[in-house]
Structure 1
Amino acid sequence: MLQVCLNGARTRAEFAGLPVSPAELAAEAVAAVAAGASDIHLHPKESGGADSLEPAVVAAAVSAVRDAVPGVPVGVTTGAWAEPDPARRVALVHAWTVLPDHASVNWHEDGAQDVAAALLGRGVGVEAGIFSGASGADGADGAAKFRASALSSRVLRVLAEITDTDPATASGTARALLDALGPGPILLHGEDGGAWPVLTLAATLGLDTRVGLEDVLVLPDGRVPAGNADLVRAARRLTS
């Protein structure tokens, strides 16, 4: 499976064409799915570009994308930067009026298990984000914390997120995290300089992966993409 991550916590200062509004997210989703993406991850944003978990913002983004690409799973973030208070994050999940198909939960964040439980209770799939650098150099502590959780067997998949941006070492960091995680459904991806090497490794290992403006702003040859669809096409070439 190739997921497209449409925008992330980035701003238009980083990429002028970053999709922010529901209509922009929908247009990028259509292009990315046409290019070969089969799953969508997005960050709902307020009009000013900040990530938001507010029910109206989530509903507008998810509804627009779902209407544009019917049948394609749509997921959102629950990152603590969008709402630092764990109890408030849980309350917002309970208040959502339109539910995504899945949502990512960064397991190293305070309140992660409560957020995951709230999502599961509402029938939303959980992508458990385990960062390579979140606890320990290779993420082993974070992986152990996840494996020990009573919710670990209930998640949709693990997002093995490689924060090592050095293209020379990112793949090795990825292998160390995979060893720490053990078997199970895993989506492996990197970011910035590590994005393309880690995506190539995921393809070699037969793992799900993702690409999009959240993770990387350049193509494998260093050129700037027009948008997410260019990144998806490049990923398809590397993984075929």
Structure 2
Amino acid sequence: MLQACLNGSRTAREHPALPLTPERLAEDAADVAALGVTSVHLHPRDVIGAETLAGPEIATTIATVRAAVPGIEISVSTDVPGNRVPLIASWGPLAAGRPDIASVHVRDPAWRELAQALHRVNVQVDLVLEAPADLGDLPDGVARITVAATTATAEPLLRVAEPLGLPVLLHGRDAEAWPVLTRAARLEHHVRAGLEDTLLKPDGTRARNNAELVACARRNQRAKAPR
């Protein structure tokens, strides 16, 4: 799987093409879907541009993106401020406005409660691992492990993630984004690319937009995959 991480917690000051509104996210999702992406990960915003998990904003964002790319997995992040468990509970009746999967960071003291809240509203859990941890018995609904790594930390983190028997998405950020993507492709793990992870192409020049980063990732993934 190649996932596009469209915006993350970045701001418009960091890149002029960063998609923040539902309409812009839908446009970028359509562009990357045309390149073979089967999952998009995004951070919905409220009317003042702050990250949010509130039901109305989630519903508008997800429904708008889903209309542009029907059939593609839509993922959101739970790594935002606020009382998140009741906000997630409000997603239950959202239907087309409910995400397919949401990321939960193991470093978050409330990660188990968040995972359980997601499971109760029929949203799968993408568990994000950034440091070695004893995960114990995983909560219901965990469907994937995302390993957020550097070239130095990838191996010890994969030693935790791989034995769990779930799909693994391995990615890095900023200077580590492309080296870690190359490693993930060689290991045949899922990969991701987009403005959340890096603003630069592999040659160090500034990317125009998410689609250009995804195109680079697709070429890298095909070149490095075992034959």
Q: How does the TM-score come out when normalised to structure 1? A: 0.87
Alignment of 1:222 onto 2:222: no
Of 144, 152, 157, 1:172 maps to 152
Q: Over residues 181-200 of structure 1, what are the superposed CA-to-partner deviations in whole Å (9 max), with x where a residue is unaligned?
A: 33222110000000000000
Which structure 1 residue ranges, 4+ long, deviate > 2 Å from structure 2?
180-184
Match in the other structure for 1:233: 215
Q: Over residues 75-105 of structure 1, what are the superposed CA-to-partner deviations in whole Å (9 max), with x where a residue is unaligned?
A: 11111xx224xxx201000112331000001
Q: What are the ranges of 5 or more consecutive residues in structure 2 without an aligned counterpart?
A: 223-227
User: Which amino acid letter does the alignment assign opposite residue 118 of structure 1?
Assistant: A
Residue correspondence of structure 1 range 60-139 to structure 2 within 5 A? 60-79=60-79, 82-84=80-82, 88-96=83-91, 97=94, 98-131=97-130, 139=131
Q: CA deviation at 1:226?
A: 1.4
Match in the other structure for 1:165: none
Match in the other structure for 2:225: none
Residue correspondence of structure 1 range 34-45 to structure 2 within 5 A? 34-45=34-45
Report if the CA contact (8 A) 2:2-2:191 is conserved.
Answer: yes
Match in the other structure for 2:161: 181
Distance in 2 of aligned mates of 1:63 and 1:221 = 36
RMSD: 1.2
Distance in 1 of aligned mates of 2:216 and 2:138 = 38
Residue correspondence of structure 1 range 138-177 to structure 2 within 5 A? 139-140=131-132, 142=133, 144=134, 146=135, 148-151=136-139, 154-162=141-149, 170-177=150-157
Distance in 2 of aligned mates of 1:13 and 1:101 = 29
Distance in 1 of aligned mates of 2:215 and 2:49 = 26
Sequence identity of aligned pairs in percent? 40
Number of matched pairs: 216
Of 178, 183, 200, 1:201 maps to 183
Q: CA deviation at 1:46?
A: 1.6
User: Which amino acid letter does the alignment assign opposite residue 42 of structure 1?
Assistant: L
Q: Secondary structure of 2:12's match?
A: coil
Distance in 2 of aligned mates of 1:34 and 1:104 = 24
User: Which amino acid letter does the alignment assign opposite residue 178 of structure 1?
Assistant: L
Distance in 2 of aligned mates of 1:154 and 1:56 = 24
Report if the CA contact (8 A) 2:41-2:74 is conserved.
Answer: yes
Distance in 1 of aligned mates of 2:29 and 2:124 = 20
Report if the CA contact (8 A) 1:53-1:83 is conserved.
Answer: no
User: Which amino acid letter does the alignment assign opposite residue 5 of structure 1?
Assistant: C
Q: Over residues 105-148 of structure 1, what are the superposed CA-to-partner deviations in whole Å (9 max), with x where a residue is unaligned?
A: 111112111110011111111000111xxxxxxx22x3x1x2x1
Match in the other structure for 1:134: none
Deviates more, 1:45-54 or 1:63-72: 45-54
User: Which amino acid letter does the alignment assign opposite residue 124 of structure 1?
Assistant: V
